[in-house]
Amino acid sequence: MTDRSVPPPAGAGGATEQTGVGGAAGAEPATARGEQTRQLILDTALRLFRERGYAQTTMRAVAKEAGVAVGNAYYYFGSKEHLIQEFYAETSVEHRTRATAVLARESGFAERLRGVLQAGIDTMTPSHEFAAAFFKTAAEPTSPLSPFSAESSPTREASIALFREALTGSTAKVDPELRDELPELLWLAYMGVILYWVYDRSTDQAKTRALIDGVVPLIDRMVGLSRLRVLRPVTRDVLGLIRTLRH
């Protein structure tokens, strides 16, 4: 799926860039103008992904639409996959920003978890149509765009860290052994919510909101019950299975 019709210019990632419109080339320090160019390329690519689909959008088309040289586009993003990974990263930052208020305001685990999940949907909503079309690519197990891929690990870890913050900043009493693994389990639950959201055609994805409102109390209850002595063997079995699958 990597679009490599034109190789990136030598020295990509350094202090200078190839620049120009319509193929003109020159050197320019990495300044605010360079950051504007980079953001223009990213914004243009995401718009074309939404309008034409991921498979039909090439780096050449992105460069033409953005009004920059093809080499300039490759200077900032080595492939279409790099553009999507940047989209993941920006989405992750916005997700955390949107969740900040509820994490500062609430101490109850259910309220904090609900706030983080709802903030994730709020962040993704403008990209709903794009996400539905793009999911076919991201769902491919070998795709670097999969949320479970090595390439996606920085964004995945940032998301897990957000769920860890939602847990550790709460008043929840959690089995100590489960506490270490729970943020990743919460992230997996979030992936399930996102999958449902991708296919949700209700107005403003209202069914996804209802799913969050329904599942959060269940998770909250299970987390609270995890400390009961009678359920600890079950908790250990679940954790053992997770660790086996991870390796």
Q: What is the per-residue pLDDT for 18?
A: 42
Question: What pLDDT, on a 0 to 100 scale, did the predictor assign at position 247?
Answer: 58
Q: Are 71 and 18 in contact (CB under 8 A)?
A: yes
Quote the pLDDT of residue 245.
59
pLDDT of residue 208: 98
- Cα–Cα distance measured from residue 246 to residue 213, given in angstroms and rounded to the nearest whole number: 29
pLDDT at 14 over 80: no
**45-70 mean pLDDT:** 91
Please, which residues bridge with residue 17 across strands? 28
User: pLDDT for 85-105, tens place per residue?
Assistant: 999 999 999 999 999 999 999
Q: Using one digit for the tens of pLDDT, what is the confidence trace for 158-196? A: 999 999 999 999 999 888 778 888 999 999 999 999 999
Residue 230: band (very low, low, confident or very high) from pLDDT cuts 50, 70, 90: low
Domains and CATH numbers, the chain: 16-78 (1.10.10.60), 81-246 (1.10.357.10)
pTM, to two decimals = 0.79
Structural contact between residues 220 and 113, judged by C-beta atoms closer than 8 angstroms: yes
Instruction: Pick 51 or 22 by higher pLDDT.
Output: 51
Q: Residue 70's pLDDT is what?
A: 94
Task: Determine contact, residues 187/159, Cβ cutoff 8 Å.
Answer: yes
Contact by Cβ (8 Å): 61, 96: no
Query: In sequence order, what DSSP letters do the residues of the chain get, joined into one string?
Result: ----SSPPPTTTTSSEEE--STT---EEES-HHHHHHHHHHHHHHHHHHHHH-TTT--HHHHHHHHTS-HHHHHHH-SSHHHHHHHHHHHHHHHHHHHHHHHHHH--SHHHHHHHHHHHHHHHHGGGHHHHHHHHHHHTSTT-TTSTTSSTTHHHHHHHHHHHHHHHHTS-----HHHHHHHHHHHHHHHHHHHHHHHH--SGGGHHHHHHHHHHHHHHHHHHHHTTSGGGHHHHHHHHHHHHHHH-
Mean pLDDT taken over the chain: 84
